């Protein structure tokens, strides 16, 4: 088999043009395959730049006030989040709650014993019925 020297057939400009065309075709093919990802990444980039440009001292104060407002308006469900599919560990307030309960185990134990000791037979019957209804007993 004979070696072919493309320099005998193509000028430097033609080789550059062929390389450019092959690169363009590859880019078109690749961008069509990843179109959604490219658009999404581009949109994030534009948004990040817009946020960065609009972020000034006033916006920082607005964000701080909004954070405080959200914290004030939170209910127990939002404050004390247990781990779920997305969160692998309890959030900080839930962790503090668990530690506080653990640190006050003796006080809680005493209060539970006092509450159970003050139950009447009627109260115990109602609790047992509720547990049966909830399939807990």
Task: Write down the pTM of the prediction.
Answer: 0.37
* pLDDT tens-digit series, residues 5-19: 888 888 999 999 999
* pLDDT tens-digit series, residues 20-72: 999 999 998 988 888 888 888 899 888 888 887 777 667 778 778 887 888 78
d(CA 64, CA 40): 29
Residue 91 CB partners (closer than 8 Å, separation 6+): 80, 81
d(CA 126, CA 132): 10
């Amino acid at each position: 088999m004979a070696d072919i020297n493309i320099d005998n057939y193509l000028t430097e400009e033609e080789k550059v043009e062929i390389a450019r065309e092959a690169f363009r075709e590859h880019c078109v093919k690749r961008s069509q395959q990843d179109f959604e990802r490219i658009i999404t990444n581009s949109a994030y980039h534009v948004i990040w730049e817009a946020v960065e440009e609009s972020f000034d001292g006033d916006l920082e104060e607005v964000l701080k006030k909004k954070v405080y407002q959200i914290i004030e308006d939170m209910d127990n469900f939002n404050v004390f989040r247990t781990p779920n599919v997305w969160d692998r560990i309890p959030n900080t307030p839930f962790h503090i709650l668990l530690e506080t309960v653990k640190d006050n185990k003796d006080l809680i134990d005493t209060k539970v014993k006092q509450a159970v000791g003050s139950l009447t037979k009627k109260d115990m019957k109602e609790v047992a019925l509720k547990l049966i209804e909830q399939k807990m007993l």
